């Protein structure tokens, strides 16, 4: 019996160690409904995970971005991997940004947010395509489609943040939550070298609760360790001033 117990212990120890060192899959719990309502107008940040079919919307509280809500993606197309050619019907992956003129309140797909494909990385690599959106109506031919009810919430927070002084909303799109175990599971993918460029940005937000500042160098995504120097800080101060006067 002692030998059997020792054998079982030897089997369990590696699994236990892996569980202790693995990056958490769900980094945050959503804020309360009451706090969420108060945060309309604060700077926001979006992460999308294809495999989990999840869009996470974050709002800035103090120096951290906290999860406002996780939304189920109704549909996307083309499976895992980046969009490369117009007409391939793939939904993009990478680091994108949204300005106020990219919001489409009168879209044929209810409401829409143009994610800004192609970005600098896409252009330097010769990728083609346009009008890649987060939108409603639950139908996708390369976009990220949400239910209209979910799209209402996402659009409302992005619109309020941009109109309150945030110059652009960062949208980080990943094939999956980029834990070490998920990376290992996908190590034989043809897209693995590309996904290794995305992982530092994923890890940075997980650690710092701030959107990663990712640049492009020689056609590669590169993580800049300095935080974004955009208007989100000023927007946060404006938002706090407005809430304190209510």
| Angle value at C-alpha 179, between 132 and 29, nearest 5 degrees | 80
pLDDT of 185 above 70: yes
8 Å CB contact between 221 and 197 = yes
Average confidence score pLDDT of the chain = 86
pLDDT of 6 above 50: no
135 an active-site residue? yes
pTM (predicted TM-score):
0.84
Q: What are phi and psi of 187, to 5 degrees?
A: -65, -20
pLDDT category, 67, cuts 50, 70, 90? very high
pLDDT of 4 above 70: no
Residue 228, Cβ neighbours under 10 Å: how many?
19
pLDDT at residue 217, as a whole number: 96
Give the mean pLDDT of 37-64: 97
Q: Classify residue 238 as exposed, middle or buried by CB count within 10 Å of its CB (0-12, 13-18, 19+).
A: middle
- Given the residues 17, 74, 108, 143, select the one marked as catalytic: 143
Distance CA 220, CA 244 (A): 43
Pick 236 or 144 by higher pLDDT: 144
Burial 203-216 (b: 16+ CB within 10 A, else e): bbbbeebbbbbbeb
pLDDT of 201 above 80: yes
Domain boundaries, the chain: 33-241
- Given the residues 108, 135, 138, 208, select the one marked as catalytic: 135
Whether domain 33-241 has CATH 1.20.1250.20: no
Give the mean pLDDT of 174-183: 97
Going by their DSSP bridges, the two strands 133-135 and 144-145 should be labelled as: parallel
Residue whose C-alpha is closest to residue 155's, from 55, 60, 245: 55
> If you ran DSSP here, which 8-state letter would residue 75 be given?
B
8 Å CB contact between 187 and 175 = no
Kindly report the three-state secondary structure assignment for every residue of 42-101. CCEEEEEECCCCEEEEEEEECCEEEEEEEEECCECCCCCCCCCCCCCCCCCCEEEEECHH
User: How do residues 91-107 score in pLDDT, each as one tens digit?
Assistant: 999 999 999 999 999 99
**Two tokens, residue 241:** 């001033």
143 an active-site residue? yes
pLDDT at residue 244, as a whole number: 46
């Amino acid at each position: 019996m002692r030998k059997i117990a020792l054998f079982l212990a030897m089997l369990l120890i590696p699994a236990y160690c892996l569980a202790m060192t693995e990056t958490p899959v769900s980094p945050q719990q959503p804020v309360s409904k009451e706090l969420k309502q108060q945060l309309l107008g604060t700077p926001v940040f979006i992460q999308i995970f294809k495999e989990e079919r999840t869009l996470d919307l974050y709002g800035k509280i103090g120096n951290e971005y906290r999860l406002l809500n996780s939304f189920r993606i109704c549909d996307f197309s083309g499976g895992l991997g980046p969009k490369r050619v117009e007409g391939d019907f793939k939904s993009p992956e990478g680091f994108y940004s949204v300005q106020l003129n990219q919001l489409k309140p009168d879209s044929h797909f209810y409401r829409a947010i143009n994610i800004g494909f192609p970005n600098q990385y896409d252009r330097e690599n010769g990728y083609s395509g346009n009008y890649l959106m987060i939108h409603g109506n639950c139908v996708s031919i390369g976009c990220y489609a949400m239910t209209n009810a979910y799209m209402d919430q996402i659009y409302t927070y992005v619109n309020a943040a941009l109109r309150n002084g945030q110059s652009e909303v960062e949208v980080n799109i990943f094939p999956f939550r980029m834990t070490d175990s998920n990376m290992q599971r996908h190590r034989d993918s043809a897209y693995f070298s590309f996904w290794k460029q995305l992982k530092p940005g994923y890890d940075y937000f997980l650690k710092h609760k701030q959107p990663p500042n990712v640049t492009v160098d020689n056609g590669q995504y590169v993580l800049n360790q300095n935080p974004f120097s955009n208007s989100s800080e000023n927007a946060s101060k404006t938002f706090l001033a407005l809430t304190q006067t209510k």
